[in-house]
Amino acid sequence: MISSDYTAALCARDSDAKILLLIIDGLGGLPHPSTGKSELETAHLPNLDELAASGSCGLISPLGPGHTPGSGPAHLALFGYDPWRTVVGRGALSALGLGVDFAPGDVAARVNFCTVDDGGRVTDRRAGRISTEKCAELCRRLESIDIPHVSVSVVPEMDYRAAAVFRGSGLGDEVGDSDPQTTGLAPLALQSRGADSERTKEAAESFLRQAAERLRGESPANMVIVRGFGSYPQIPQMEDVYGLKAAVVADYPMYRGVARAVGMEIVPTGSDLSSKLQALTDRWPHYDFFYVHVKKTDSAGEDGDFNGKVRLLEEVDAFVASLRDLGPDVLIVTGDHSTPSIMASHSWHPVPMVISSNWSLSTGVATEFSERGCLGGSIGQIPSSSLMALALAHARRLSKFGA
């Protein structure tokens, strides 16, 4: 379940030192063909560059050479878990992040409102990106769905997205998606493996049939598609493993979810950086470890918006100065994975990382916080799942192994 850095559990010791981990989603990039400079190299980042020049720099790899992670595995690696073996369904992460009633034994799935034509083919996987308010209204309409021996609750997330939680006896989560991932096709028939997951599949089929009835005549959101079935995750908690009282400052439910899955408490925050800073300031005395998440850089990368990502990085740079002023004993800035704008997708490229603390070793070579700048740092290239041990070490929260 846990990587070799679960060894951290053997060595964790108490301390007052605070660790602040800033995750800039999709941080890493690649050079723009016309300038030869990556997003980080193009952006003006005086605070991050200063941090890189004085801290320990390196690059972290979420899954090892060549493998591109989704957000779930990428974050589980950051928190010290083996991302290949600690698998949590995306639906479970959403449900956890939304803070809905979701408990061991339940299975959650992500729900997208969509548009289907008279032949049942999906014409818009996002139902014209209906508003969150409309989504909430439609979720309420699905409340009356009745499935034998299984209760289901449907909770709005953002825009056309929602989450469904199935509760019943002996429900497995090995159920495939109905989302065809493209338009022009009918939703996929659900597949399952094993008797427990067969029960979940039957409940989900009943849910989909009844949802179609209740949404008939609605426009544009006249159907739902489901994906990412996942049981309530039972993962060793950060307080037990690392002795850390940890909090998450993130606005997207999915990131709150992965943080809750490892035992962090959710600090309420808005999506802008100033409200995140306010949330941190308010709760600063109450936790040992803060995970702060910035989403928009990844979205810009996925949209192929090179200049947009550059601008967002510059905004984050100013935010970094404020984080420093909070006085964490250890400040780490990195990303969950790379999202090069020229690829318009997540990628496998290792992610720049800096650790700022009293026990850091700057090299004089890594003077720029970037993919190439961090290559000259003292940490080298390490698995993302080794980062937590380094975080604890720099906070002097790990004791010696062996006499």
**Distance between CA atoms of residues 79 and 1, nearest Å:** 13
Query: 165 is written with which tokens?
Result: 């939680």
Q: Report whether 353 contacts 334 (CB < 8 A).
A: yes
Q: Shortest gap between Cβ of 55 and a copy of itself (angstroms)?
A: 13
Helices (DSSP H) in 62-160: which residue ranges? 71-78, 90-98, 132-141
d(CA 121, CA 123): 6
CB 214 within 8 A of CB 230: no
What tokens were used for 199? 């029960």
278 touches a copy of itself by CB under 8 A: no
Classify 283 as helix, strand or coil.
Answer: helix
Q: State yes or no: residue 125 binds a copy of itself (CB under 8 A).
A: no
Phi, psi of 155 (to 5 degrees): -125, 130
Residues in contact with a copy of itself, shown as a per-residue x/- string from 222 to 261 under the rule CB under 8 A: ------x---------------------------------
- Is residue 212 involved in binding a copy of itself (CB under 8 A)? no
What is the SS3 assignment for 271? coil
Residue 7 binds to a copy of itself (criterion: CB under 8 A):
yes
Window 312 to 341, contacts with a copy of itself (CB under 8 A): 340
Please report which helix (H) or strand (E) contains residue 276, including its range.
Answer: helix 273-283
The angle subtended at Cα 99 by Cα 97 and Cα 194, nearest 5°, is 70
Out of 83, 220, 233, 335, which residue is the one contacting a copy of itself (CB under 8 A)? 83
Among 55, 73, 243, 263, binds a copy of itself (CB under 8 A): 73
Select from 26, 55, 72, 187 the one that contacts a copy of itself (CB under 8 A): 72
Q: Is 286 an interacting residue with respect to a copy of itself (CB under 8 A)?
A: no
213 binds a copy of itself (CB under 8 A): no
Q: Which of 15, 50, 87, 284 binds a copy of itself (CB under 8 A)?
A: 87
**Which residue in the set 66, 184, 217, 285 belongs to the binding site for a copy of itself (CB under 8 A)?**
66
**Burial of residue 279 (number of CB atoms within 10 Å: 0-12, 13-18, 19+):** buried
Phi, psi of 366 (to 5 degrees): -80, 90
68 binds a copy of itself (CB under 8 A): yes
Q: How far from each other are the two terminal CA atoms of the chain, in whole angstroms?
A: 28
Stretch that binds a copy of itself, among 120-128, 148-156, 165-173, 367-375 (CB under 8 A): 367-375
Distance of closest approach, residue 375 Cβ to a copy of itself, in angstroms: 6
Q: Which is nearer to a copy of itself, 29 or 172 (CB)?
A: 29
By CB under 8 A, name the binding residues for a copy of itself. 4-5, 7-8, 11, 30-31, 59, 63-74, 83-84, 87, 90, 228, 340, 343, 345-349, 359, 361, 363-365, 371-372, 375-376, 378-382, 386-393, 398-403
